[in-house]
Amino acid sequence: MKPRKVSAAAAAALTLALAATACGSDGGGSDDGKKITVGIKFDQPGVGLKTPDGGYQGFDVDVARYVARELGYAPSDVVFKEAKSADRETLLQRGDVDFIAASYSINDERRKKVDFAGPYFLAHQDVLVRAGDDSIKTPADLNDKKLCSVTGSTSAQNVKTKLAPRAQLQEYGGYSECLTGLENGTIDAVTTDDAILAGYAAQDQFKGKFRLGGFKLSDELYGIGVKKGDTELRNRIDAALRKMVQDSEWKKAVEANFGPAGYRSEPPPGLSTPAG
């Protein structure tokens, strides 16, 4: 968090104080009205992606920007920080980010550590396989196959414990690594939410190479994560999400980010907490 500008006379007096507090900054911005730090994915096309020119795009990015605007922040005051699946709870607990919009599925285990606004999106767990691979037609066909997901994600564990116990689970740091393995044949299937998989499959370098299984293995309700106990911020974000749906910006964001892949989203899910 950058300190506000001060006069030359005050600057000298505040030098030691600023130096002492700089290292202890919580990384947020919602309290001082200057900057707000938002955790997103950097490697999920269609959902959250950092582009080669340093920009950011994707459905979650659009949602985060809309919410930040409703919280009173200009676009230039939004700072994006990478939120890998395994790091999301830690980022919130340490105060490194103000909120996280990063394909963050709400579940009971995560609710013990963080609070959620939303849900704002309903996805379904699915698998991505090579277009010419006809050996995986049902979830049971994943038995004895090399199944990839990212560290900290529940998707692969869901398959292994409930549907294909003999699946050979491979966990990588990011989905892009899973896609590379799928393309070169060292991985047989990648599993995560269908929206994420559709975003990857729609990339120019992957067009025609992969296909979705269409299994709908689970319902994944995406929420915006906030620090545990921050009820005020959670409710303000809920209010922003409600407005985004009501004024059709939610629908526009879905169509802009997932439409090119032919993906059809579910209607927006109801928000679970009161606004205000």
> What was the pLDDT predicted at 273?
46
> What was the pLDDT predicted at 253?
94
Taking a C-beta distance cutoff of 8 angstroms, is the pair 30, 98 a contact?
yes
pLDDT digits (tens, 9 = 90+) for 116-163: 999 999 999 999 999 989 999 999 999 999 999 888 777 877 888 888
Burial of 193 (0-12, 13-18, 19+ CB in 10 A): buried
- Residues with Cβ within 8 Å of residue 240, at least 6 apart in sequence: 66, 67, 70, 71
pLDDT digits (tens, 9 = 90+) for 40-96: 999 888 899 999 999 999 999 999 999 999 999 999 999 999 999 889 999 999 999
> What was the pLDDT predicted at 271?
61
Higher pLDDT, 83 or 2: 83
User: Where do the domains of the chain lie, and which CATH numbers do they carry?
Assistant: 26-122+220-261 (3.40.190.10), 124-219 (3.40.190.10)
N-to-C CA span, the chain: 27
Q: What is the mean predicted confidence (pLDDT) over 5-10?
A: 44
* 254 pLDDT higher than 60: yes
* 194 pLDDT higher than 60: yes
* 103 pLDDT higher than 60: yes
User: How far, rounded to the nearest angstrom, does the alpha carbon of residue 162 sit from its chain's CA centroid?
Assistant: 24
Distance CA(100)–CA(38), nearest Å, equals 6
Pick the range with the lowest mean pLDDT from 100-114, 191-205, 212-226: 191-205
Percent pLDDT > 70 in the chain is 85
> What was the pLDDT predicted at 262?
64
Distance CA(121)–CA(235), nearest Å, equals 17
> What was the pLDDT predicted at 234?
97
Q: What is the mean predicted confidence (pLDDT) over 91-111?
A: 96
> What was the pLDDT predicted at 33?
56
Q: What is the mean predicted confidence (pLDDT) over 259-276?
A: 66
Distance CA(51)–CA(53), nearest Å, equals 5
> What was the pLDDT predicted at 73?
97
For helices 231-246 and 59-70, the axis angle rounded to 10 degrees is: 110
> What was the pLDDT predicted at 257?
86
Higher pLDDT, 25 or 91: 91
> What was the pLDDT predicted at 34?
86
pLDDT digits (tens, 9 = 90+) for 235-246: 999 999 999 999
* 217 pLDDT higher than 60: yes
What is the DSSP pairing of strand 48-50 with strand 56-57?
antiparallel
> What was the pLDDT predicted at 137?
94
36: confidence class by pLDDT, cuts 50, 70, 90: very high
> What was the pLDDT predicted at 224?
98
